[in-house]
Amino acid sequence: LADQTANWSREEALTLVENWLESFSGKIDAIVAHNDEMALGAIQALEAAGLTDKIVVTGVDAILDGCNAVKDGTLLGTVYQDAELEGSKAVQKAYDVLEGKVTEKELSYIDMKWITKDNVDELLKTVYAK
């Protein structure tokens, strides 16, 4: 229905989703946000409209607030942006290029972990342990 940015901002996402709810009344099934801040703003708009049980929201980054929202069921899931994994893959790829093992441009996808109610506690007890 729409593809717009909220500039990685919870507040901008809140306003954007409020507008979507007016423009696309009854037509929205899901909101896919490219970071948890925007997902959390979308959830705020849905809560205010009483629609959290009708529209699912997903995010990316697995920030603490996002993980807590997954745990409490307001966020369907989030993708854990594993900086250590990304960095090590980048260094390995650079090394492979220097060694002549890679001579052509190629896409190299990194399998990031999908965080749901089933596994969110693992992240909360490790990455976000106090």
- What is the rounded average pLDDT of the residues 92-115? 88
- Calculate the average pLDDT of the chain: 95
The residues spanned by each domain of the chain are: 10-82+112-122
pLDDT band at 74; cut points 50, 70, 90: very high
Pair 74, 43: CB distance under 8 Å: yes
Q: Does 10 have pLDDT greater than 90?
A: yes
Amino acid at 14: L
User: How many contiguous H segments (helices) and E segments (strands) does the chain have?
Assistant: 5, 4
Nearest CA to 96 out of 106, 86, 109 is that of: 106
Pair 57, 78: CB distance under 8 Å: no
Give per-residue pLDDT as tens, 42-63. 999 999 999 999 999 999 999 9
Model pTM score = 0.87
Question: Is pLDDT larger for residue 108 or for residue 125?
Answer: 125
Torsion of CA 81, 84, 87, 91, to 10 degrees: -150
- What is the rounded average pLDDT of the residues 73-87? 94
Q: Does 88 have pLDDT greater than 80?
A: yes
Dump the DSSP string for 85-113.
HHHHHHHHHHHHHHTTS--S-------PE
Give the residues across from 31 on adjacent strands.
57
Fold annotation for 10-82+112-122: Rossmann fold (3.40.50)
Task: Give every CB contact of residue 16 below 8 A, 6+ residues apart in sequence.
Answer: 4, 6, 41, 42, 45
